[in-house]
Each structure stands twice: as C-alpha cells, then as structure tokens.
Chain A
C-alpha cells in the first residue's frame, strides 16, 4: 500500500470504532449497479521500477542540453542558477497550501509580497497579483478586467496580430460567452499606428506585445496616448527578461502589463507549469483577478502579510467575482523571485545583454548567407525572423542531423510568412554554436 500507513490491527480498531465490519460497508450510498468498477489499469509497481520506467520515457525525447536550441516562440532555454531549485525543494514551500491561515504561512505570504514588489519594479506598474496560470490566460483576464472596468458598457477589444498566436487564441476561448468583438489580428501589417486608428468609444482594451512575437521592439508611446484619449485600457504583453534591458511599459503609458515569467528561472518542461504575470496601475486593483498579498501587523506588533482584497475573489464574491481563479502558480512565482534575487540588478541586465548581442551576431551572419534574409525592420531583442530559401520543416530536419534545434515555422500561423523562421538566441548559446548553425544553414543555401 503505497503511502498508506495503516496496519491490519489499526484498520480493525478503526472499523470497530465506526461500527462497521468492513470498509465496503461505508459505500452503501453508491448505486449498486455501478459500484466497484473493475478499472482497466496496470497493477502497482515499486518505486524502483517506476523510476526505471520514467527514466526510459524521458530518454525517448531530444533534450535541449543535447542540442543547440534556437527555438523560442514564447518558451526560452535560459540558464537557471542552482539556488532556485534548492529553494523550490524546501518542503515547507512546496507542501504548503494557499496561505489562508496567515499565522503559519508567513513564508509563502512574504514571498508573494516580495514577488509582487519585484514585478512592479520590473514592469513599471504599481500593483501585481500573486500570479496567473500563464501569459496567455493573464492576457485573457486583462480583457475581462477591462470589460469590468468599463462596467460592461464597451464591447470591443483590439488585439495586435504580433501577440503570440496561442495567447490570442486563449483570449477568444475565454471571451466566447461575453458578446465581444475582437479586431486587429486580421493582418500582419497592423502595427501600432493601424491599431490606434481602430480605437473608438466602444473599445475596452487594446493589447500589444513587447518585444512582439517576431522579436520586434516597438515604441508604443503614441498608441498609449491614443488609448488614453479613447478611454480604452492599454495592455502590454512582455517578456520579463527583456525588461532587464528595455524601457518598462509603465514608463510609456501602459495600464496593464502581463506576460509569462518562464524565462525567469523556470525550466522549459515541455510547456508548463509556467508563470502568468499580472500587474496594473493601482487604480484598477479592485478589478484585478487573483490573489494579492498585503502588509499588516500581528497581535504582537510584528510586521506580517495576509491575502487581502479577498472580496474580489470567488470564495467570497461567488457569482459576482472578477474571476474564478483559485489555485494559481505559487511555486513558480517563488522560482522567479529567487531567480531575480540571485541575478539581481546587475545579473538580469547582463543576461538580457548577452541574449541581445548573441542574437544580433547570429542574425547578421545568417543574413549574409545567400538565400537567407533578415525580415525584421525594427530593432529586435533576442528573437528575429529569417526568410528562408525553402520550407522551414525541411531546414529544421537538416539541422537536427547536427543536433541543432531550429526555429519556429511562422507559416503555420501566418500564411503570408510561409518559409519564414523565428529564431531565438539566449545566453546559453556559445559563439561556436552560432557558427555551427550558420555552417549548417549554408549547406541548405547551396543545395
């Protein structure tokens, strides 16, 4: 009996105390016809055997440490200092529940408060929640927050086409029952000026990404001004690691800043769990979904922290709650907090700059290859688009022979970008790996 401590004798005593002969007697309320199904599941195995099986499964994958990873598109392979996982493995952190009893949860609560603080500093916003599931759901909740801010009197959302395709899909899924019109994504050409032109008094929110899905860094100041004039909220989806180097959206007029914290100390893990960042200006805090920790004092006069503004949440507001979110991404928020603490002011800037310089070097070398061309016309951070001489899938198959994980095939989301590849270069990539990539691509251009 795995993890179940009862002895035969204890079971007997407990059944006697309850007043039944066997445990089956406790299931009288279950309809007999469907009771005790014979589940078609494998039988139990030992921990040793399970470990062997899982090891074998894990070896059925190509892992990025055995390849040079140039694949990004919303999930990035970064260096994670050892400290991060050691803290995540503290039993007191990972086997604790949501801190509803603050007296014995100050570790979790203070960590949330510190996480909220660093997120505000990074994004230039004034308040942060304790996390969302991921960047995509955070964006969807931003749309709902904007809707509630306007008391459901505005029904249009403007979405930049240069926001991650998954994120935009999630916004559509979340809002399908809300009678909204979502515009902006129809054409790749809809840059900030075109989006600004779509704003009107029925627009509740306009959202853009920074850097955008193609790596471009735009100046959104004019769009921010247009949004303010139309009374619409400006939401900026960020890569928080890029904010180690780039001007934070708080400085150019964003109302809400969301994003995914995966680049901050969270492994790729085949897509999750990641970290939804959600920050905004203080005036919107009562419409913000999710848990929020606030500072207070205890009965002994000590500074402490509690979950606050709880009447927004589902367990109190129920049908009128701003969102249904309950469990969030507590441990991943802790991971990003530890990462930012140990990287610090100097380290984060340095990582961002390493990514920037390596990406630009790679881009310039690839651009020089016949048949390949750099597509970006704006400054970019660590991702860029290359127009390729043939299908991206074939090029990537070729690269795999050299243990290189090539970039993302943009043609699958943007038909006008067929044969265009989105490449990311992080601090984990050496100059030798870049040169190997260039050499391998050169073989393609000569083919």
Chain B
C-alpha cells in the first residue's frame, strides 16, 4: 500500500498535496485498489466554482462500484484533470501523480489541521481490514 509521506489524507480516502495557498487532490492507492479497474471519471464541479470541505467534486466509476470524491478542505476549483476522461485507468496505475483529479485554491488553511498524516492514514487503513 503506497502512502507518500508528504501528503495529507481524509477518512474518505482522498489525498491532498499543498503548495502555498493552492492544493492538488485525488484518491489514494487504497481507494483505487478497493474500486478496482476504473472505467470512467465525471467532474461535477465547474472550474471557478467554490466547494466546501466534504462536497463532491467528481465521481469515479469502476466495473463494480461507483464513488463520489470529496474536497479534503474547502476551496475554489482552478483546474480539473482532462487527461482522466480519456484514460481513467491512470487512477489505478498512478493515483498520486498523473491521476490528480482537481487543483484548487484553499479557502481556509486551518481546515488542513484536521487531516491525517501518512502514519495516521496507514493506521486507519490497517484498522479497516477485517
């Protein structure tokens, strides 16, 4: 299970990479493994739109499941990853790199404090396996 040290994580299996006052987010390796082969990505947020923490910005579909992907913290969308419409399988092969979903400007940096670091997320994943 790949859990990069430099990222922060949510309980709904999103990661976020912070760069100053903007951030990039996607779904974790754990999530893509649970969903299995991703076949479709749908963006429900518009570029320029502002979403709160926990609001869905996109939905990913695999053969056997569908999941909404939520904002890890509130922000204004600056870009969505068009490449995923053509190649949704990138989420399975490169969830933290080429398969970023959305880039956004952070509304309230203090919300980042509520997220898990890599060690906490690793523990969280282990607890969930029964």
Query: Using a CB–CB distance below 8 Å, which chain A residues touch chain B?
Result: 151, 286, 310-312, 316-317, 320
Contacts and interface: CB of A to CB of B under 8 A. Distances in A.
Given A151-B44, A286-B40, A286-B42, A311 B61 contact: yes
B40 A310 contact: no
Which among B62, B64, B66, B68 has the highest number of chain A CB atoms within 10 Å? B66
B1 interface: no
Contacts, number: 18
B68 A320 contact: yes
Interface string B40-68: 10101000000000000000011111101
B62 A311 contact: yes
A316 B64 CA distance: 7
A316 B66 contact: yes
Identify the 7 closest CB pairs spanning chains A and B, nearest first. A311-B66, A311-B61, A317-B66, A316-B65, A316-B66, A311-B65, A316-B64
Which among A286, A310, A311 has the highest number of chain B CB atoms within 10 Å? A311
A310 B44 contact: no
Interface of B: 40, 42, 44, 61-66, 68
10 contacts: A151-B44, A286-B40, A286-B42, A310-B64, A311-B64, A311-B65, A311-B66, A316-B64, A316-B66, A320-B68
Interface residues of B, dominant DSSP: strand
Contact of B63 (A151, A310, A312, A317): A310
Contacts of A286: 40, 42
Contacts of A316: 64-66
A317 B66 CA distance: 6
A310 B62 CA distance: 9
B74 to A, nearest CB: 19
A312 B39 CA distance: 13
Given A286-B42, A316-B66, 9 more contacts: A151-B44, A310-B63, A310-B64, A311-B61, A311-B63, A312-B66, A316-B65, A317-B66, A320-B68
A311 B88 CA distance: 15
Contacts of B63: 310-311
A286 B60 CA distance: 12
Contacts of B61: 311
Contacts of A311: 61-66
Contacts of B62: 311
A317 B42 CA distance: 15
Nearest to A317: B66
B91 to A, nearest CB: 14
A320 B61 CA distance: 13
Contacts of A320: 66, 68
Nearest to B60: A311
Nearest to A151: B44
Contacts of B65: 311, 316
A320 B44 CA distance: 14
A312 B62 CA distance: 11
B35 to A, nearest CB: 10
